[in-house]
Amino acid sequence: MRFAACLLLALSAVALPAATLGADDAYVAQIGKWRQDFETDIRTGDWLTLVNRVELGRRPATLGSEAKSTVVLPPPAPKRLGIITREGPSFRFTPASGIECSVDGAPVQGAVNLSTQRGTGRIQVGTVRVVVRSIGDEFFALVSDSESPEIAKFSGVTWFEIDPGWRVTARFVPYQQAQSVRVPMTHVSAKTVMSSTGDVVFDLAGQRLRLKTFIDEENLFIMFTDATNGRETYGGGRFIEAPLPKDGVTTLDFNKAFNPYCSLNRNIMCPLVPVQNRLPVPVVAGEKYAGAT
């Protein structure tokens, strides 16, 4: 959704009003549209529908709405939906007797293999969906409910005022070879493997700053913390995405800095910001956090 290069001089850490900077209407409109799309993705992209997350071990895991189930489902899901069994990295789902459900849209009568790949292996009963996904060496059952009460509770995103001063040019400094980094995740002991090919170096508030980047499909993915965390912004830091470098240059637009989705839903697992990615200046741009004190 979400996430060419514009050469602007870095400004001070305290952003000036957009009118003072002479922000053009096209840029403000573009960022406004990006933010609208971001909020739409929150409402429709399963970030609010995830209602349970359970690590799966070697023993069979029972699924159902009764409290003693290994993976508890929200009502009105059946008390006993079925069982997930595991053999190494492979999983099978067996529905309980008399239960009507589907896997990837096909009705299930007996045991079926359960894919762990994105977009597949979806057990569906009513509004409830269960999938098995891996994080590093661990596997988790993820339970979603398309009618989760959290959808109605979501009141929208709060942002700092759009200011072109927070859009900066960065030099990309590649590593001699790509790194495979085991990155810790929130709420669990599992680590996910992320690819990192270099750092971005840029000037802000009179300082030369450096951030480690990761590759996320067609973008650079950057996690950072700064002096606003825990007060105006989310305590765990924020993320931005930037274009892949062209001729060794990319653009960081902190007006698009966003909170990790685990700030909305503790069932979501997010990567933790690398310790070297703490900025010594307050970044008063991008998404705020209602829970900050």
CA distance from start to end of the chain:
30
Tokens at residue 275, please? 């310790």
Q: What is the mean pLDDT of residues 185-208?
A: 94
- Whole-number average pLDDT of the chain: 90
Give me the pLDDT at residue 293, please. Answer: 45
Give me the pLDDT at residue 73, please. Answer: 98
Residue 25: band (very low, low, confident or very high) from pLDDT cuts 50, 70, 90? confident
Q: What is the arrangement of strands in the sheet containing 106-107, beginning at the earlier edge strand?
A: 50-56, 138-145, 128-135, 123-125, 102-103, 106-107
Residue 292: band (very low, low, confident or very high) from pLDDT cuts 50, 70, 90? low
Burial class (CB in 10 A: 0-12, 13-18, 19+), 220: buried
Q: What is the arrangement of strands in the sheet containing 90-95, beginning at the earlier edge strand?
A: 71-72, 61-64, 82-87, 90-95, 112-114
Give me the pLDDT at residue 1, please. Answer: 36
Using the 8-state DSSP alphabet, how is residue 59 labeled?
A: S
Q: Are strands 71-72 and 61-64 parallel, antiparallel or unpaired?
A: parallel
Contacts of 152 (CB under 8 A, 6+ apart): none
What are the distances in angstroms from CA 44 to CA 16, 99, 141, 146, 159? 34, 28, 21, 9, 20
Alpha helices, DSSP H, located in the chain: 18-21, 25-44, 149-153
User: Is domain 50-147 annotated with CATH 3.40.50.10860?
Assistant: no
14 C-beta neighbours (distance < 10 Å), count: 10
Residue 17: band (very low, low, confident or very high) from pLDDT cuts 50, 70, 90? very low
Cis status, amide bond into 164, omega within 30 of 0: no
Query: Mind listing the pLDDT tens digit for each residue in 202-227?
Result: 999 889 999 999 999 899 999 999 99
Residue 46: band (very low, low, confident or very high) from pLDDT cuts 50, 70, 90? confident
Q: What's the rounded Cα separation, in Å, for the pair 24 and 248?
A: 27
pLDDT at 19 over 90: no
Alpha-carbon torsion 127, 132, 134, 137, what sign? positive
In the block, residue with structure tokens 């001070």: 12
pTM of the shown model:
0.85
The torsion of the CA quartet 223, 228, 230, 234, rounded to 10 degrees, works out to -40
- What are the extents of the domains in the chain? 18-46+156-277, 50-147
Give me the pLDDT at residue 24, please. Answer: 78
Residue 241: band (very low, low, confident or very high) from pLDDT cuts 50, 70, 90? very high
pLDDT at 23 over 80: no
50 C-beta neighbours (distance < 10 Å), count: 21
Give me the pLDDT at residue 290, please. Answer: 83
Residue 58 Cα to chain centre, angstroms: 28
Q: What's the rounded Cα separation, in Å, for the pair 197 and 180?
A: 9
In the block, residue with structure tokens 């990309």: 172
Give me the pLDDT at residue 172, please. Answer: 98
Which amino acid does the sequence have at 68?
K
What are the distances in angstroms from CA 24 to CA 19, 29, 274? 9, 9, 35
Query: Mind listing the pLDDT tens digit for each residue in 65-118?
Result: 999 999 999 999 999 999 999 999 999 999 999 999 999 999 998 999 999 999
Nearest CA-CA partner of 235 in 292, 152, 288: 292
